Structure 1
Amino acid sequence: MSIKFIIRPLLVILIFTFQYLQAQTYSATTYKLSIKGTSTMHDWSSAATNVTVQGDFVINNGIIEKVTGGNVNVVTKSIKSDKNSGLMDSRTHETLKADKNPNITYAVTKVTGVPASGGEASVTVSGNLNIGGTSKPTDLTLKMKVLPNGDIEIKGTKKILMSNHGIKPPSFMLGALKVGDEVTLDIYVVLHKK
């Protein structure tokens, strides 16, 4: 038997395997990004209504083997109060410097902790979070899993200080109501292969 009859099938298998295991881009089909905080009078919450999320994943047999990149873009003026308060929304947009910086962005720089096992994976993502024109390194711990239809579900929670991004927490009623510096981001995204 000629060696070429052995090598050719092996090359075809290797090429197919390499192509199959290359990272593929997934984009958000469903998302919920809420921002929660406190003030001297009551807790508050807002939600972003215009969010774009993309991620590059290597999936093998329904298991996330690798995350090679990702980015998030939030249109700042799409952040709306759950109370439908125009005053709260305008103050939020002003505080976040939305006119000069219309987008809040997060760009992934490093990913660790993707175990090659079934079920939900705990993934630590490092990246740069840009709010109001100030970019800071920010780590996220996210839960990821492949859904039965092949989509990827991502969820997580992150506390951040507005002051880390040069943002002064807003105040209302001549300073009688002051917003706390710390806010909590609740993240839920479902990504679909492009």
Structure 2
Amino acid sequence: MNIGLPNIAPVNPTPLHARLAHSDNVSKQKMASYANIHRHTSPSQLQPGDRVLVKQRKKNTLTTPFHPRPYTIIQKKGSMITAQRGDQHLITRNSSHFKQVQPGPLPEDEDEEDAPPSVAPPYTPSSGPPQYLPSPGRRLSTTQPAAATPSPVRATPSTAEMSGIASRPARQRHAPTHLKDYDLT
């Protein structure tokens, strides 16, 4: 309201750069709150000491979304979480990469990267023959002469039949009929 009296200017006016910095901060806060509302963000409920699973890169169709061995959160700063597995492996990720697991005993098996390669037990005569058997109707070596007559249907049961597991039906193989006049030996 102008009453005709002269105004006294303030002795220390706010510098231009300070006013611009303030208005810049206000507008950045408005943009951040708008983005958070439209992205449906919420603060993370994870706290230091919680056990979590970490997202892993998909290598093939059998890869699980989260690594099966749990980590323990040791530090949290905003959405940045630092977690540790055992005493050696330390990772820092965004809170969206973690999933909290229910408390329970820690698994004692080794990680696949840390585990030594598995070795098959040595063959001993008392353990029986090795179980690497060819499928019915197939030969192991190609040095045997081919038979002119079809091989009989297998007389001995396969290992799958002996163990009680149903096997797939095998096609009976015969020599072609147009070659029956020729000697194939």
What TM-score bracket applies, with the shorter chain setting the length?
under 0.3
When Rg is computed on C-alpha atoms for both structures, the one with the higher figure is 2
